[in-house]
A and B are shown apart, each in its own frame.
Chain A
Amino acid sequence: MTAKTGALPITVRDVTKTYGSVHALDGVSLNVKSGEFLTLLGPSGSGKTTLLMVLAGFTRPDCGSLKFGEDEMIRTPPHLRGVGMVFQNYALFPHMTVAGNVGYPLKLRNVPKAEARDRIDRALELVQLGGYGDRGIDQLSGGQKQRVALARSIVFEPRILLMDEPLSALDKKLRDRMQIELRHLHEQLGMTTVYVTHDQREALTMSDRIAVVNRGRIMQLAEPQQLYDRPANKFVADFIGDSSFLPVAREGAGVSFAGATLLMDGAVPEGNDLLLMVRPERVRLLTGDLPGDTNIFDAKVTELVYQGESYLLYARLPEGSEIAVRGAIREGTFGKLPQVGDAVKLGLHKADTVVIADGER
């Protein structure tokens, strides 16, 4: 199983699912490339899980098309879809041992006993649970259950793997480690993977591409860096990372804030309601000589918070908006920071000066 098992692209077209008057999915179209790790990211109730359940076959949409490779799958019952799935609560069968669970899909496929034993062992070793085959499910820790669930979902070498917030029940340290492990496993196995989470950091860490979902629609589909640096709209900018938003006005080809034209590298989007997105960690506290390639804002400190590895500083601009500034704390620097009430100059490099359209579209 260390060799790549092959992968299939997924094509979703115009899938709609309504519950009463609520659009859980509102005409969603999505292409997942073969072998890609794609994450559906969104707040709870956004429709991301519904979309995953449509892929798995547990939710029947009102209309739309779903293809695995060339094959139309929208009406195929779940047990004939041949996709692996890791459930949020693991869904390990409590009346079977670890090996019984992992071997279950092999038994259904009439894999000969000796070969099945071999594949179970290899799958368990892959998730670092070699020798755990005879354990009962209730003897496992949360992290171990997670690994067994993973082993069970890949042991039959599906070409598509679905994961529904598989790490949400684990504590933070374990979650961080499992993220890296899942990523490595995906590189090793190469199956097309669709991963659902509401945790933006998890999405950024693991994904080749991320689809941000809200109110049954895909807001933006992009690579993590693109998503973070060039969000398509305010919803995406707000949902991923922290940011402050300043109202700006269109001025020729560029924009201006409070009467001053802003330096910027990127393009200005269409629309009339424009916002400047300010990521706290991209803002610098300026002292001494002022650089020429940077937008400068005069402000007054309103709050200074110590957060261990970094500080968080809030400053109010003369026109009333507030900007958050985050910076690393090195030896002795915290004491030298400006205090509440001090006047400061905040710098935003023109490369970090990103203007987005207000609203969701």
Chain B
Amino acid sequence: MSVTDLHAAGLRRDERLERWKLFGLASPAILLVLVVLVIPVGWLFYVSFVGADGNFSLENYERMVSRKSYLRIFVTTFQVSILTTALCIVIGYPLAYFISQLPTRWANLCLVTVLLPFWTSLLVRTYAWLVLLQKQGLVNQWAISLGLWDEPLKFVHNMTGTLIGMVHIMLPFLILPVYGAMRAIDKDYLKAASNLGASPRRAFWTVFFPLSTPGLFAGSLMVFVLCLGFFVTPAVLGGGRVIMVSMKIVSNIELFVNWGAASSLGVVLLVLTVIILWIASRFTRLEQMAGGGH
């Protein structure tokens, strides 16, 4: 053994041991992912290829292509997702900008008000909207007594209600990453732009906005992907008139007990989501969706 190999074997062993310890810490989570994700999803794939007669068949997928109603459901799903995302951007971006410009104390207070509903049960918030928006609800009553409109407007059991509810629930998912990206923008960049001759508006569009787009992209993606598989809010506030993929999956099982049809819808939704995330990952770093990055 030469002098340079002093303790080499022992140090290598320590290194290996450390790695095993780390793996040991992660093993409960790995087991959980295996049991509740990998196995069920694999089973989902399997069931989607089983026909009504119990043999291997593509009939579940053929049905999706041949029946117009299925196409309509996918169109509706994307419509709701795109509209919700767009509305979240229009409402959330300016709000995130406003919060990011506040002193830290006030910014934190504002963030809590953004997060508070985020921590409240989704079901409760959805039913709250139902109460608020229905024909005899608070919104209609007040508006009529104030003379804003004469007849109760239909806010629920349609697209409007679905969108109001979805946007409300999705907003934090957009605001948080956008706020994170904005907060990370060094104020000196804007000073530099201003010093070099840019008006505040020009400085915003040439410097601030481009630097905030990674956060905006991550937030939008997050909202859009979450919308694709959303169930409770459209089911309650859509009143059966806005049917998204997730609702069709439920009805396939509850009404028709057709596991194959339900599974195939699930598979298509999953594959679409993965494709969207894969495309997105080529343009941005996905960890920004969790508020990380930079």
Per-position binary interface string of chain B over residues 209-222, scored 1 when its CB falls under 8 Å from any chain A CB and 0 otherwise: 01100000000000
B154 at the interface (CB under 8 A from A): no
Given contacts A58-B191, A85-B192, A108-B202, contact A91 B186 (CB under 8 A): yes
Per the bound structure, the CA–CA distance linking A57 and B193 in Å amounts to 13
B186 touches A152 (CB 8 A): no
Given contacts A94-B211, A95-B210, A108-B202, contact A79 B191 (CB under 8 A): no
B247 to chain A, nearest CB (A): 42
Per-position binary interface string of chain A over residues 32-63, scored 1 when its CB falls under 8 Å from any chain B CB and 0 otherwise: 00000000000000000000000011100000
Cβ contacts under 8 Å, A152 to chain B? 196
B197 at the interface (CB under 8 A from A): yes
Per the bound structure, the CA–CA distance linking A108 and B207 in Å amounts to 12
Which one of A58, A79, A92, A95 contacts B197 once the chains associate, using CB atoms below 8 Å? A79
A198 to chain B, nearest CB (A): 19
Given contacts A85-B192, A93-B192, contact A79 B199 (CB under 8 A): yes
Per the bound structure, the CA–CA distance linking A91 and B186 in Å amounts to 8
B204 to chain A, nearest CB (A): 12
Chain A, 67-93, CB within 8 A of any chain B CB: 77-85, 87, 89, 91-93
B195 at the interface (CB under 8 A from A): yes
B20 at the interface (CB under 8 A from A): no
A89 touches B188 (CB 8 A): yes
A83 touches B195 (CB 8 A): yes
B189 at the interface (CB under 8 A from A): yes
Cβ contacts under 8 Å, B197 to chain A? 79-80, 82, 105, 108-109, 156
| Nearest chain B residue, comparing its CB with the CB of A164 | B188
Per the bound structure, the CA–CA distance linking A93 and B191 in Å amounts to 11
Cβ contacts under 8 Å, B206 to chain A? 104
Cβ contacts under 8 Å, B207 to chain A? 93, 95
B195 touches A95 (CB 8 A): no
| Nearest chain A residue, comparing its CB with the CB of B203 | A79
Per-position binary interface string of chain A over residues 93-114, scored 1 when its CB falls under 8 Å from any chain B CB and 0 otherwise: 1110000000011001100000
Per-position binary interface string of chain B over residues 167-208, scored 1 when its CB falls under 8 Å from any chain A CB and 0 otherwise: 000000000000000000010110111111111101100110
Cβ contacts under 8 Å, B193 to chain A? 93, 104
A161 to chain B, nearest CB (A): 11
Given contacts A94-B211, A95-B211, A108-B202, contact A89 B195 (CB under 8 A): no
Per the bound structure, the CA–CA distance linking A23 and B189 in Å amounts to 27
B191 touches A156 (CB 8 A): no
Cβ contacts under 8 Å, B200 to chain A? 79
B207 to chain A, nearest CB (A): 6
| Residue among B189, B192, B200, B211 facing the most chain A CB atoms (10 A cut-off) | B192
A165 to chain B, nearest CB (A): 13
Per the bound structure, the CA–CA distance linking A85 and B197 in Å amounts to 11
Cβ contacts under 8 Å, A79 to chain B? 194-200, 203
A339 to chain B, nearest CB (A): 43
Per the bound structure, the CA–CA distance linking A233 and B203 in Å amounts to 45
Per the bound structure, the CA–CA distance linking A346 and B193 in Å amounts to 57
Question: Which residues of A are in contact with B by a Cβ distance under 8 Å?
Answer: 56-58, 77-85, 87, 89, 91-95, 104-105, 108-109, 152-153, 156
Q: 9 A–B contact pairs at CB < 8 A?
A: A57-B195, A81-B195, A82-B197, A85-B192, A85-B195, A91-B192, A95-B211, A105-B196, A109-B197
Q: With A79-B194, A80-B197 given, name 9 new contacts (CB 8 A).
A: A57-B194, A58-B194, A79-B196, A79-B199, A87-B188, A93-B207, A94-B211, A104-B198, A108-B197
